[in-house]
Structure 1
């Protein structure tokens, strides 16, 4: 039986892994309950979760060397990002122009929301920066390091990114993340029209986010 790379979400608590598997309704019920195996490895077991049971490794994307993640980090989650890039009109040395303020997007696995992506600047109690947060626990998140971002141009859309975690919180899939890739981006580029200081504009975008956990 061939499995989609989106079927399995290793890592996190037993409850969280079970929820992730339930999100994909195309997986046979027996597989979800751990009654089937894939490549001779037990996929999931309500009794074995967290006690030595392994899940198949998710498929890494093909990227340039600059965007690649060291092999000893495990790909633990692939999620679609659907939302907006928020731009604000700012004054740079007397010239007005659009500056990226923050993202705001839903993180989806097979159409089901599993997380939020946002900028701390727009959310009380959070330091500035880009966050990926569990939909079940607002105290469980990872924040990117703004000083180590690697960018790769994607003409007509926002760039592809390789990000490192600066801080994590809680106990969920996101709290173990060390690296993030933003790939397969569409839209989201900054406006080009003239603006007045303080204006804000939201531009639709989509992306695919790959999350890697600490070995």
Structure 2
């Protein structure tokens, strides 16, 4: 009888042990990224947070000045923004806009660009931002660096006169470092 009871409890004990080990496992650390000097943030600003984006870059097949050669044109990003613990803090979308779950948001303008180390990744950027939302998490952010990009480049094929208006959603990931004035 005692043996049967032990076998019934064994799966629960194993599950508890696995959960305890997972909870005590060290959190992953972000990769070290060497940011080109051309993407330095202007003025006396301090890093307030780094967000990890996971989403898509949307492209549309459009006519160009030479109508016989349509091309993929960038439309907008769509991504979730998470902290280093994987907590969803907000979303990134057209504008470009970064909106926190609390309604605070900033809109950016590209001030500098650098090629990503991987030619199959979208460029790294430095953007100046201004607040357009309510007070909150992102309200004081005045600059953002997009670095450590993976994927997101426009398709190389599939855009022709017969596919004008077609959209492609290309997966990408990036780190967005948010800066605010030093207090």
Question: Could you say whether these structures have the same fold, taking a TM-score greater than 0.5 normalized by the shorter chain as the test?
Answer: yes
1:141 match: 105
1:152 match: 114
Matched residues, number:
145
Bigger helix share: 2
1:163 match: 127
Once the two structures are superposed, what CA deviation does each residue of 1:55-94 show, in whole Å capped at 9, x if it has no partner?
xxxxx96412110114610111111000000001111111
User: With structure 2 as the length reference, what TM-score do the two structures score?
Assistant: 0.74
Mapped partners of 1:178, 1:61: distance in 2: 21
1:46-65 superposed matches below 5 A: 62-65=34-37
Is the 8 Å Cα contact of residues 113 and 123 (structure 2) preserved in structure 1?
A: yes
Is the 8 Å Cα contact of residues 133 and 174 (structure 1) preserved in structure 2?
A: yes
Q: What SS is found at the alignment partner of 1:66? A: helix
| Aligned CA distance change for structure 1 residues 174 and 96 (closer, same or farther; 3 Å) | same
1:1-215 superposed matches below 5 A: 62-70=34-42, 72-93=44-65, 94=67, 95-109=69-83, 110-119=85-94, 129-137=95-103, 140-145=104-109, 148-154=110-116, 155-195=119-159, 196-215=163-182
Segments of structure 2 that go 5 or more residues without pairing to the other structure are 1-22, 25-31
Segments of structure 1 that go 5 or more residues without pairing to the other structure are 1-24, 27-59, 120-128
User: How large is the Cα RMSD of the aligned pairs?
Assistant: 1.8
Is the 8 Å Cα contact of residues 97 and 194 (structure 1) preserved in structure 2?
A: no
Bigger radius of gyration, 1 or 2? 2
Mapped partners of 2:39, 2:99: distance in 1: 22
Mapped partners of 1:169, 1:104: distance in 2: 18
Structure with more relative contact order (C-alpha pairs < 8 Å, separation 6 or more)? 2
Q: What SS is found at the alignment partner of 1:198? A: coil
